[in-house]
């Protein structure tokens, strides 16, 4: 089912990330989605590469949580930007807090591009470090 409200789709996407639900994440992304971590020179193409990235994220963290969303919408260009807080719990129990921004481009009601600007260490690696 195609989505229409960009903010709701962003919240659906992040809930799926926090819940470790790859199927729900992929439902928010086009098959040919481009996913980039602009601050760390990472670029992924399509569901297979994006799935691998999320599986690595979840394997390397006890939990991830995204909260405190602030949106800027550009309906003319089918884009939405969001600033948010990230709370990562590492496998050893350490808590890492971040402030990040993502820029989403929509096509046919779901995301065709996700651009991530991440504070601190990259937690969305293309391959295992």
Q: Over its length of 129 residues, how does the chain's per-residue pLDDT go in tens digits?
A: 454 589 999 999 999 999 999 999 999 999 999 999 999 889 999 999 999 999 999 998 999 999 999 999 888 888 999 999 999 999 999 999 999 999 999 999 999 999 999 876 666 655 544
Please tell me the predicted confidence (pLDDT) of residue 129: 42
**DSSP codes of every residue in 112-129:** EEEEEE-SSS-SS-SS--
Task: Say what the pLDDT of residue 128 is.
Answer: 43
Rounded CA-CA distance 106/118 in Å is: 21
* Domain 6-117 indexed as CATH 3.10.450.50: yes
Domain residue ranges in the chain: 6-117
Q: Give pTM, 2 decimals.
A: 0.89
């Amino acid at each position: 089912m195609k989505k229409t409200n960009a903010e709701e789709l962003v919240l659906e996407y992040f809930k799926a990330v926090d819940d470790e639900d790859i199927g729900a994440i992929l439902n928010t992304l086009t098959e040919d989605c481009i996913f980039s971590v602009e601050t760390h020179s990472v670029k992924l193409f399509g569901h297979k590469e994006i799935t691998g990235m999320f599986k690595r994220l979840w394997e390397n963290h006890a939990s991830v949580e995204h909260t405190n969303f602030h949106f800027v919408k550009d309906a003319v260009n089918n884009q939405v930007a969001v600033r948010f807080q990230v709370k990562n719990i590492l496998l050893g129990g350490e808590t890492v807090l971040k402030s990040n921004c993502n820029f989403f481009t929509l096509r046919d009601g779901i995301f065709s591009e996700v651009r991530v600007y991440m504070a601190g260490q990259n937690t969305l690696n293309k391959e295992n470090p």
